[in-house]
Amino acid sequence: AQSVTQLDSHVSVSEGTPVLLRCNYSSSYSPSLFWYVQHPNKGLQLLLKYTSAATLVKGINGFEAEFKKSETSFHLTKPSAHMSDAAEYFCVVSDKGEYGNKLVFGAGTILRVKS
């Protein structure tokens, strides 16, 4: 069975400092992993995805994530936070299976960026 744990429900950083949002997953098969962002009153937008190619994945807006199988982690990072990064972030896992299994969301991490 697949599951996702986002280790922090809230993260607060100062503008210009690094961002780290932590995610651990459980998967029976080789997983696909995603990070989505949701700004207030907006829809879910894909930030980046891992689907068994390079383990370091680059996404939009300067975000990246590293797939570490030995640690079953897929942490999201950004070198320098911007005020516009304030939002809720969701880590998502999907077992590959035959055609790919359902998407399972973590509980989310709310990122606050202080000026």
Q: How far is the CB of 31 from other proteins (least distance, A)?
A: 8
Kindly tell me which residue out of 57, 106, 111, 113 binds other proteins, with binding defined by CB under 8 A. Answer: 106
Q: Is 54 exposed, middle or buried (0-12, 13-18, 19+ CB in 10 A)?
A: exposed
| Window 27 to 46, contacts with other proteins (CB under 8 A) | 32, 34, 36, 43-46
Helix extents (H) in 1-115: none
Contact with other proteins (CB under 8 A): which of 16, 18, 79, 97? 97
Q: What is the rounded CA–CA span in Å between residue 95 and residue 109? A: 22
CB of 114 to other proteins, least distance (A): 21
